[in-house]
Amino acid sequence: MRRVYLDNAATEKMLPCVKQAMLDAMDAELGNAAALHYEGWNAKKLIEEARVRVARLINAESEEIIFTSGGTEANNTVMEIFRGKRIVTSSVEHPSVLEAARARAGELVVLPVDRWGRVDTVDIEKEAKIADLVSVMLANNELGTIEPIKEYVKCCKKYNTYVHTDATQAVGKIKVDVKELGVDYLSFSAHKIGGPIGAGVLYVKNGVPYRNLMYGGKQEEGRRAGTSNILGIVGLGAAARWCWEEWSCRKWAEVTKLKNELKRRILAEVPYSSCNSPDEGCLPGILNMSFQAAEGESIQLYLDAEGICVSTGSACAAGDIKPSHVMMAARHDAEVAHSSIRLSLGLDTTKEDIERVMAVLPGIIRKLQGMSTIKVGA
The set of catalytic residues is 316
With binding defined as CB under 6 A, does residue 316 bind ligand PMP?
yes
Where b means 16+ CB within 10 Å and e means fewer, 14-35 reads: bbebbeebbeebeeeebbebee
Q: Do residues 227 and 44 lie in contact, with contact meaning Cβ atoms separated by under 8 Å?
A: no
Q: Which stretch binds ligand PMP (CB under 6 A): 13-21, 34-42, 64-72, 293-301?
A: 64-72
CB 344 within 8 A of CB 255: no
CA–CA dist 226, 198 (Å, integer): 13
Choose which of 195, 200, 232, 362 interacts with ligand PMP (CB under 6 A).
200
Give the one residue of 141, 277, 339, 349 binding ligand PMP; rule: CB under 6 A. 141
Name the segment binding ligand PMP (CB under 6 A); options: 120-128, 163-171, 210-218, 224-232: 163-171
Residue 189: closest CA among 166, 160, 223 = 166
Number of residues that bind ligand PMP (CB under 6 A): 13
Q: Verify binding: residue 72, ligand PMP, rule CB under 6 A.
A: yes
d(CA 144, CA 99): 21
Would you say 194 or 200 has its CB closer to ligand PMP?
200
Displacement of CA 61 from its chain's centroid (Å): 22
Kindly state the smallest distance separating residue 314's Cβ from ligand PMP, in Å: 6
Nearest approach, Cβ of 76 to ligand PMP (angstroms)?
9
Interacting stretch for ligand PMP, rule CB under 6 A, among 12-20, 67-75, 317-325, 368-376? 67-75
Out of 43, 87, 137, 156, which residue is the one contacting ligand PMP (CB under 6 A)? 137
218: buried, middle or exposed (CB in 10 Å: 19+, 13-18, 0-12)?
A: exposed
Which residues are near ligand PMP by CB under 6 A? 70-72, 94, 96, 137, 141, 166, 168-169, 189, 200, 316
